[in-house]
Homo-oligomer: A and B are copies of this chain.
Amino acid sequence: MGQSERLVEVWRGGMLESQHRGHAVVCNAKGEVVHGWGDPNQMIFPRSSAKMLQALPLVESGAADAAGLTTEQLALSCASHQGAAIHTDRVSRWLNDMGLGNDDLRCGPQWPADQPAKIGLIKTDDSPCRIHNNCSGKHAGFLTLSRHMGVTDPEYVEVDHPIQLAIKQAFEEVTDEVSPGYGIDGCSAPNHACTVLGMGRAMAGFAAAKEDGDARARASVRLREAMMLHPDLVAGETRACTELMRTAPGKVALKTGAEAFFIAIIPDLQLGVALKIEDGATRASECAIAAILVKLGVLDPAHPDVKKRLNPDVVNFAGLVTGEIRPAETLLAM
A residues neighboring B (CB under 8 Å): 1, 10, 12-21, 43-45, 106-110, 119, 122-123, 133, 180-188, 191, 193, 259-260, 278-281, 284, 316-320, 322-323
Contact = CB atoms under 8 A, between A and B. Distances in A.
A322 B188 CA distance: 8
Copies in the complex: 2
Contact of A318 (B44, B106, B119, B193): B106
A188 B320 contact: yes
Contacts of A19: 1, 278-279
A284 B19 CA distance: 14
A323 B183 contact: yes
A186 to B, nearest CB: 5
A45 B13 contact: yes
B318 A20 contact: no
B281 A281 contact: yes
Given A123-B123, A280-B10, A45 B320 contact: no
Interface of A is mostly: loop
Contact of A15 (B45, B122, B123, B284): B45
Given A13-B193, A15-B181, A15-B183, 15 more contacts: A1-B16, A10-B259, A10-B280, A13-B182, A13-B183, A13-B184, A15-B45, A20-B279, A109-B317, A110-B317, A185-B322, A186-B317, A188-B320, A279-B279, A279-B281
Nearest to A119: B122
Contacts of A1: 16, 19
A108 B317 contact: yes
23 contacts: A1-B19, A10-B259, A12-B184, A13-B183, A15-B45, A15-B180, A17-B44, A17-B45, A18-B259, A20-B279, A106-B318, A108-B316, A108-B318, A108-B320, A109-B317, A122-B123, A123-B123, A183-B322, A184-B320, A186-B322, A188-B317, A279-B279, A279-B284
Given A181-B13, A280-B281, A319 B108 contact: yes
Contacts of A122: 119, 122-123
